[in-house]
Amino acid sequence: MSQKTNTRRESAAEAKAKVVNLRISPRKLNLVAQSIRGLKVQRALNELEFSHKRIARDVRKALYSAISNAENNHNLDIDSLVVAEAYVGKNIIMKRFSARARGRSSRIEKPFSEITIVVRELGEAA
């Protein structure tokens, strides 16, 4: 009795890539995700290439991965791809402490986040 295979959650004209442990807060990562949401893939890559944010390099790698998944796994045309969704989620928070005056300490939180990028192929009508 083997387990049934999971059905594909995306439609036939979509591909997805997810990066799980990014060492940045979700609030900062969402700024970069907003800048590429809804853009054509080539335009989104240009936005990330010339962005001044540090995390833009990792988001660009995730976008390249989604493009590669679309091309190799789902036989989609990469010239007609659009970033359909780019959403950010929380992950773990490392908790550290910093020594303070009079023997006290304060908490330092180092948040991690994750990003999911979904690319979709535009039809001929669009």
* CATH number of domain containing 36: 3.90.470.10
Residue 77: CB partners within 8 Å, gap ≥ 6? 121
Residue 124's pLDDT is 52
Structural domain contains residue 109: yes
- Domain assignment present for residue 2? The answer is no
Residue 101 covered by a domain: yes
Model confidence at 119: pLDDT above 70: yes
pTM of the model: 0.87
Domain region containing 84 = 14-121
- Residue 20 counted as domain residue: yes
The answer to whether position 40 is within a domain reads: yes
Question: pLDDT grade, residue 80 (50/70/90)?
Answer: very high
- 114-124 average pLDDT score: 89
Does residue 94 fall inside a structural domain?
yes
Residue 1 located in a structural domain: no
Q: What residues have CB less than 8 Å from 48, skipping those under 6 apart?
A: 32, 35, 36, 56, 57, 59, 60, 63
Segment 21-53, tens digit of pLDDT: 999 999 999 999 999 999 999 999 999 999 999
Please state the domain count of the chain. Answer: 1
Question: Cα–Cα distance between 44 and 66 in angstroms, integer?
Answer: 12
What pLDDT was estimated at residue 68? 96
Q: Determine, yes or no, domain membership for 126.
A: no
Average pLDDT of the chain to the nearest whole number: 93
